[in-house]
Amino acid sequence: MSAPEPKTPPKRDHKWSAMNRRELLKISPVLLLGAFAFEKFQKPLLDAGVDFSDWATDKLFRGHHLAPTFADSELTPLEKFPYNGYDVIEPEFDLDAWTLTVAGAVDKPGEYTLAQIKALPKINQNTRHVCVEGWDVIGNYGGTRISDLLAAVGADTKLKFVSFECADDYYESIDMASALHPQSLLCYEMYGKPLDRGHGAPLRLQVPTKLGYKQAKYITKLEVTNVLQAGKNGYWEDQGYSWFAGM
Amino acid sequence: MATSRLQMDVVETVSPKTGEAVPAAYEHPWVVRMAHWANAICLFVLTASGLRIFRAFPSFGPKFEQHNLVDVPKNLTIGGWLGGALQWHFTFMWIFIATGVVYLGYQLFSGHYRQVLFTPKDIRGVWPMARHYFLFGPKPPVTEAYNPLQKLAYTSAVAFGVLSVLTGLVLYKPVQFSLLAAMMGGFHYARIWHFAAMLGFLAFIPGHLIMVAIHGWDNFYSMMIGWKRDPEYLRK
């Protein structure tokens, strides 16, 4: 009688284990995303992400591609158009004494009155105003093209930026290509009436290829420049919003 | 494009339970595994930061008819404030897009998509599989790495990804992508579709996780190492 055959003990498959380890190691690069979990790396990584987004969307911007325009029947009623001031809705300053200071790389720097600005060709357009929060309104805007004003003051449009200062300490800056866009306005009228204080009297930006926080109100100074000083890029941008903010 | 069944590499190994020789199949190539885990992280970050962004205007349509639909609890969100959440969203959207492009490119050119793409011939198999999973019906024979219901789920997930990127582009650049916006029914609809894509993912993920939990370690581990030990469709 033969003894029952001994059961073979489970053997480890070393080749299989080695292959598993190799394959596991191969997907380890995905752990690099874990860097986002460390506060030390988080800010520089997210800053790089926003900078890359701004770079990419600057490349995406087409100077002659127009923002959609709308029929008068599609306008948001003026009384429902929100006043979205960051601080004070009606900054204290003398409207009658107001002038626009034009500075930087221009042939004719100095103080410009509203009458001088209104003497430039007037554009009237119904465009969408989109807030970074996600809401939007369709407004009617009247004003002069930024490009016409830049031409009138002899600006060097090869420079990179146009920056703005406001009566309420808000400040903004936009890229030259967006400033020269045919729908980019220095706006002094909404719905056929002079701007009211809440909407930025006497002069505001209306650049329909940019988000709402770029549409500076109560503009007091315009500068053509190649350098944006740190902390002078824009009120919200300096707190972490995207600078290009193009739509 | 070839429609024959995908041929996978198969090796012999040993079952740790019985000690017997069992086959193992290379189900998930490196690119697919990398994309899977990168996507898992991206979807977490994009959903959590997206909900924080939604908190700033928890509504759809224009401002002056705003109805606040839902108050998303802050604890479910990341970024701290709208600007912070946008930074997360604008960073991880690139990682998500890059992962998606690499994944889809790989699937297409390697032919590996045949393992998982839901096609008309899979329609017939969906109901028997659903009946088995949810209604204690008989188990249909397993002949492929993915059954028809799985193919439907994973193909839908890819569709949600494509939808979320396209609608996201319109929300991000409604002027530059004005044609795409018009195709979606306008700017306001892009926000609705973007939200719908997120809900699609939120519907997919719990089912996916439950199935992974049910199917055991070898199945889960195959998304780490690529090889699945003793898969049902290779049993005699």
DSSP H or E segment with residue B217:
helix B187-225
Of B91, B224, B225, the CB nearest to A50: B91
Model confidence at A224, in pLDDT bands (50, 70, 90)?
very high
Q: Which CA distances in Å does A34 have to A29, A46, B87?
A: 10, 13, 17
Can you name the residues that pair with A137 across neighbouring β-strands? A129
Enumerate the residues of chain B whose CB falls inside 8 A of the CB of residue A62.
176
Cβ separation of B175 and A77 shorter than 8 Å? Answer: no
Q: For residue B190, report the phi and psi dihedrals to the nearest 5 degrees.
A: -60, -40
For the cut 90, the answer to whether the pLDDT of residue A3 exceeds it is no
The DSSP secondary structure of B133-186, one letter per residue, reads HHH-PPPPPP-SSS-HHHHHHHHHHHHHHHHHHHHHHHHH-TTTTHHHHHHTTS
Decide if A33 and B38 are in contact by the 8 Å CB cutoff. Answer: yes
B125 CB within 8 Å of a chain A CB: no
Give the pLDDT of residue B2.
39
pLDDT category at B3 given cuts 50, 70, 90 is very low
- B54 versus B61: the higher-pLDDT residue is B54
Distance CA A231, CA A121 (A): 34
Judged on CB neighbours under 10 Å (0-12, 13-18, 19+), B25 is buried
For residue A116, which of A144, A154, A147 has the smallest C-alpha distance? A144
Beta strands in B21-176 (DSSP E): 21-26
The string of pLDDT tens digits covering residues B153-195 is: 999 999 999 999 999 999 999 999 999 999 998 889 999 999 9
Nearest CA in chain B to A14: B13
The Cα A244–Cα B176 span in angstroms is 14
Give the number of other Cβ atoms within 10 Å of residue B188's Cβ: 14
Give residue A46's pLDDT: 94
Length of chain B: 236
pLDDT at A212: 92
Contact A130 B41 (CB under 8 A): no
Q: Inter-chain contact A67–B175, Cβ cutoff 8 Å?
A: yes
* CA B75 centroid distance within chain: 24
- Chain A contact probe: residue of B20, B63, B89 with most A CBs at under 10 A: B63
Q: How far apart are CA A181 and CA A145, in angstroms?
A: 8
Q: What is the pLDDT of residues A43-81, one digit of tens each?
A: 999 999 999 999 999 998 998 899 999 999 999 888 888
- All CATH 3.90.420.10 domain ranges in chain A, comma separated: 65-239
**Nearest CB neighbour to B175, from listed A36, A45, A209:** A209
Sheet holding B10-14: strands in order across?
B10-14, B21-26, B227-229
**In terms of CATH, what superfamily is A65-239?**
Oxidoreductase, molybdopterin-binding domain (3.90.420.10)
Regarding predicted confidence, which is higher, A169 or B105?
B105
Q: How far apart are CA A122 and CA A118, in angstroms?
A: 7
Mean pLDDT calculated for residue range A141-169: 94
A72 φ/ψ angles, rounded to the nearest 5 degrees? -55, -30
Contact (CB, 8 A) for A247 and B174: yes
- CB proximity B21 to A under 8 Å: no
pLDDT at B116 over 60: yes
Q: How far is CA B64 from CA A25, A155, A164, A198, in A?
A: 54, 39, 29, 17
Please report which confidence band the pLDDT of residue A85 belongs to, taking 50, 70 and 90 as the band edges.
low
A83 pLDDT band, cuts 50/70/90, is confident
| Mean pLDDT for the stretch of residues A195-203 | 86
Encode pLDDT of A204-222 as tens digits. Answer: 999 999 999 999 989 999 9
In this prediction, residue B80 carries a pLDDT of: 87
pLDDT category at A24 given cuts 50, 70, 90 is very high
Closest CA to A210 of A155, A137, A131: A131
A-chain CB neighbours of B41 within 8 Å are 30, 33
In angstroms, the first-to-last Cα distance of chain A is 89
Q: Which long-range contacts (CB under 8 A, 24 or more apart) does A97-101 make?
A: A98/A202, A98/A220, A100/A203, A100/A219, A100/A220, A100/A221, A100/A222, A101/A165, A101/A220, A101/A221, A101/A222
- Give pLDDT tens digits for B200-229: 999 999 999 998 998 888 889 999 999 998
